[in-house]
A and B are shown apart, each in its own frame.
Chain A
């Protein structure tokens, strides 16, 4: 039981990390109907830019690398770069692909993935970098003593960050003017345009927000596994989460993340030994697939009605 709980909680916390990446997908899909395959590459790009800046800034401006403000300056600059990136994507890609079928836009984002990966590595080099956010990856002591549970402090902090991010996003979507405009665009592009919502600005905003989510995801994942090319694969991990939760639902991304994270770990521990291990490479996909056969639009996705 002890062990089961440990695996379950570990899985749930890992699931929050998946949800963090899935969130970026959901935001863009909701607002522009684009299935943004490049989200994983954006996570990689954001993390690499942040680490690169923390390395280079002290060299360029001659202050100490230990200075506490460095973190915030680098974070702000990375955010600014993500906004610039969002603008570029809107200006040179989305704007030219208005009214194209969804599959075309999807494939364009695959192209974007390659572009970002190439540019990121061209700018900052391809070596693996460490990233230290000052959160240690050790078990929480009182849980270990009181209940004999091994829960990593780092996982807890990461999950808390994800939770806060979701709360902020939910607030942003529900109560701000821009958030309302975003929801309007998500409902119906044409109707939104006709009541005077500037579609193109909304797209820049939503890509920028997805960029900020990518920064957070990149920092959390990067400090866990090192900032390296493998970060782009987080997108692949986020896909089943997304499908399970429904493409258009923010809470769906979180719930989907929790389900995938927990079941993946449980399956690896309890089923894995029988079939030779390593099943977490495909288990989430098959789980999502089986789930889809029962509910084709995911847990919280909008039901789609076909009309001829």
Chain B
């Protein structure tokens, strides 16, 4: 009754091709935008802004990057953490070495550096596929972290490669409170998410999906494989690089190369599995889920239920729950939380009738 498209007629092609063709969807999105930009900063505590909302946004951006590569273009990558590291360290170096460089330009340059590195490590994808390709991205993962640790130039000769983010200043306004950092992250992430959503609906995005579904067939119908695959690597790494920059500048403030290890890559891979492969919404849902799960377990452990669990098991409960959830999701809903969201919407469209 509430959610249906009856009576909403499309009179032009532009209207027909809107991202949200249904009026109610647009209302929900607009409410969400207003709420996240205008309401949340006043309502949420500093802890929530700094330790929950900002990281969720940053990780959602990284997951979005991986989703472009793995979900849309079908190239399995285990090197997300390394591409984030490139973004973070490149941003740091650009801001450090070029005096008076605006922060946003530095961040974009960091993203572009990550894109360049991504293209280099994407080159093998032209010849090798599947698990063999995962190996190439693993090589990137270990090699990049090694380079950042071994060559002190990248971290301006600080001990063990640790970098401390410079102060963020845009047009004279300093972003140094949790609220302002949250808003900055939110603005960048929303813009990039919108861009990704649109990119997926263009010729490029459809080529990616064709390559994902079967690359030989895609080549036969005239999609240039090299360009498509490398573009996927470039765009994906750009997103990861920006996410890495934000990870260092708006979330943690101080990072070291080992923080971008294989664990981080896996974490982001889980986000897109649980959120849903090949979907922008999925990246956000997955990131929120994976980051809030430990918080949830922690809270549960401090209630009366937690007292029943032996101490040795409790510390490993997070691992166990993670593992079980991933297997559970793959069995029950391989398309992730996004699919559940869609099912919910379908049901709502028919409500109160069953069919």
Residues of A within 8 A of B (CB): 35, 92-93, 96-97, 100, 102-104, 106-108, 110-119, 121-122, 125-126, 236, 239-240, 243, 247, 275-279, 281-282, 285-286, 288-289, 292-293, 296-298, 306-308
Contact = CB atoms under 8 A, between A and B. Distances in A.
21 contacts: A97-B331, A102-B130, A103-B76, A106-B131, A110-B266, A112-B327, A115-B319, A115-B324, A116-B323, A117-B319, A119-B320, A122-B313, A122-B320, A125-B312, A239-B138, A247-B131, A278-B150, A286-B143, A289-B139, A292-B132, A292-B135
Interface stretch (B6-14, B36-44, B213-221): B213-221
B209 to A, nearest CB: 15
B135 A97 contact: no
B135 A239 contact: yes
A35 B146 contact: no
Contacts of A307: 216
B296 to A, nearest CB: 16
Contact of A103 (B130, B214, B331): B130
Q: How large is the interface on B (under 10, 10 to 19, 20 to 34, 35 or more residues)?
A: 35 or more
A122 B167 CA distance: 43
B127 A308 contact: no
Nearest to A285: B139
Contact of B312 (A113, A122, A281): A122
Interface string B126-170: 011111100110110011011001110000000000000000000
Contacts of A108: 326-327, 330-331
A122 B313 CA distance: 4
Contacts of B139: 282, 285-286, 288-289
A279 B129 CA distance: 26
Contacts, number: 136
Give chain A's interface secondary structure class: helix
B320 A115 contact: yes
Contacts of A102: 130-131
Contact of B127 (A103, A126, A296): A296
Interface string B317-355: 111111111110011001000000000000000000000
Nearest to B320: A118
B269 interface: yes
A182 to B, nearest CB: 20
A111 B150 contact: no
7 A-B pairs with the lowest CB-CB distances in the bound complex, closest first:
A115-B323, A111-B326, A118-B319, A114-B323, A118-B320, A285-B139, A282-B142
Given A240-B135, A296-B127, A308-B216, A107 B318 contact: no
Max count, chain B CB within 10 A of own CB: residue among A104, A117, A118, A121: A118
Given A286-B139, A296-B127, A296-B129, 18 more contacts: A103-B76, A107-B269, A111-B322, A112-B327, A114-B320, A114-B326, A115-B319, A115-B323, A117-B316, A117-B319, A118-B318, A122-B313, A243-B131, A285-B142, A288-B139, A289-B135, A292-B127, A292-B132
Contacts of B316: 117-119, 121-122, 126
A172 B234 CA distance: 47
A92 B327 CA distance: 9
A107 B320 contact: no
Contact of A281 (B128, B129, B142, B315): B142
Contacts of B150: 275-278
Nearest to B123: A293
B324 A100 contact: no
Given A112-B323, A243-B132, A97 B216 contact: no
Contact of B135 (A100, A104, A113, A243): A243
Given A107-B269, A115-B323, A289-B124, A308 B214 contact: yes
